[in-house]
Amino acid sequence: MKLAIIGAGWAGLAAAVQATASGHDVTVFEAAHAIGGRARAVPGALPDGTPVLLDNGQHILIGAYRETLRLLEHVGVDLKNAFVRRPMTLLFPDRRGLHLPDWPAPLDALAGILTAGGWGAADKWSLLRLAGRWQWQRFQCAEGATVAQLCQGLSPRVMAELIEPLCVSALNTPAPRASAQVFLRVLQDALFGASGSSNLLLPRLDLSELFPNAAARWLARHDSRLLLGARVEAVQARGPQWQVRDECFDAVIVATPASESIRLLERSADGAGAAAAGAMQQWIEVCSGLKFDTICTVYAWSASATLAQPMLALRSSSDPGAPAPAQFVFDRAQLGGPDGLLAFVVSASQGERATLQAQVLVQAQRQLGLQLEPIQTLVEKRATFACTPALRRPGHRIATGLLACGDYVAGPYPATLEGAVRSALDAVQQAAPGTYDAVSETSTSKEPQR
């Protein structure tokens, strides 16, 4: 088939690699002159003027992200060198919190709970009892339940030191309004999945080099076209095909952010037939119902800044008297970056860039004992959709031969890299049935090295 993919973020590039590996003729249209979308590298500089590559948002992967890891390996990424891989660790600067041993699942989770630093017997029992109930219920719950409701009965300490950090990092939505069912799916795949599924994979490479650049090189070697600065204003139906710019394709996959996908389809509906136009309007209506949350990443530096772990959890608070917005901090020196550079992540953030930056620097002084200079603060206002209970997300199929993919499209995962990749694979499968396993069948190994 001759396929057009609109957008060269992680979802669009994943779809392009999948379709190309299956033997299809693929063209990718990207409006910008850079690839990677909301997970890419951006230039920065240290206080002395030394250039440094930053990420427009600090991302992590987990061992359960099997489709993403398989795809990275397929395009030539050396997984062993690309990541710092460690058992699940959610430790605070005072070393309290959860640290799983490198044991087979589910023994690692059980041992981690029993040995969690600073947790009393009542804390541990409350989590073990509730986790047993989740397993007995096969990780299913009422569709309208929130994470806060799901976790009623947990001790306040376990809520504060495990559930709330996990929820906001995975769903980018606070526990009182986050979907319990999606959270259970993440827990099932991570903490209670196959051995190694709970491992944290912290990228040593910048996000552009981790996948987008590697995918672009792979596509070039396989004669697929990646056109930068090629904005698509609309798609037009031409019999059984779709016209993108001045070329016709058997199918089109729209892999742009939700807001851009809506604008594209609104401009396209007038030129489509009645049936296709009606289908577009229905898809637009569902997509327009999504709400979005912001992620802020504060990069700061000090010559003496270093952490005990590559990643630490922080005690986050919205108390007006002592705001502490960041939930996590990363030591970029331990991840291949320059000495002294830290990245603070504020998920579901609120407030202005300058205010958040100032609050994070005070938080670093109080919780880490560090005086830091700000380097750059990046705010992604529509970073992820708000993963709320009973959320209706748009499907892959827009109209015959016209599909969508992205981390916001219907699927079991929240807005994560794995969600984007899985959505892309599903879109290619629907556009050209029988191609889903093309990447996994040609990968050199099924599991990343540990």
**Domains of the chain: which residue ranges?**
2-37+206-290+388-442, 88-198, 292-385
Which pLDDT tens digit goes with each residue over 28-80? 999 999 999 999 999 999 999 999 999 999 999 999 999 999 999 999 999 99
Model confidence at 447: pLDDT above 60: no
Bridge partners (DSSP) of residue 26 are: 3
Model confidence at 337: pLDDT above 90: yes
Which pLDDT tens digit goes with each residue over 403-429? 999 999 999 999 999 999 999 999 999
CATH topology of domain 2-37+206-290+388-442: FAD/NAD(P)-binding domain (3.50.50)
Joined together, the tokens standing for residue 8 give 């060269």
Which pLDDT tens digit goes with each residue over 104-119? 888 999 999 999 999 9
Model confidence at 347: pLDDT above 90: yes
The predicted structure's pLDDT at residue 448 = 34
Report the predicted TM-score, pTM, of the whole model to 2 decimal places. Answer: 0.93
Least confident piece of the model among 96-100, 214-218, 244-248, 445-449: 445-449
Bridge partners (DSSP) of residue 2 are: 25
The predicted structure's pLDDT at residue 353 = 95
What's the CA gap between 270 and 208, in Å, rounded? 36
β-bridge pairing 200-203 and 83-86: antiparallel
Which pLDDT tens digit goes with each residue over 264-315? 999 999 878 888 999 999 999 999 999 999 999 999 999 999 999 999 999 9
The predicted structure's pLDDT at residue 73 = 98
Percent of the chain with pLDDT over 70: 96
Considering the chain, what is the average pLDDT of its residues?
Answer: 93
CA distances 269 to 5, 46, 281, 284, 432, Å, are 18, 48, 8, 10, 23
The predicted structure's pLDDT at residue 143 = 94
What's the CA gap between 274 and 134, in Å, rounded? 47
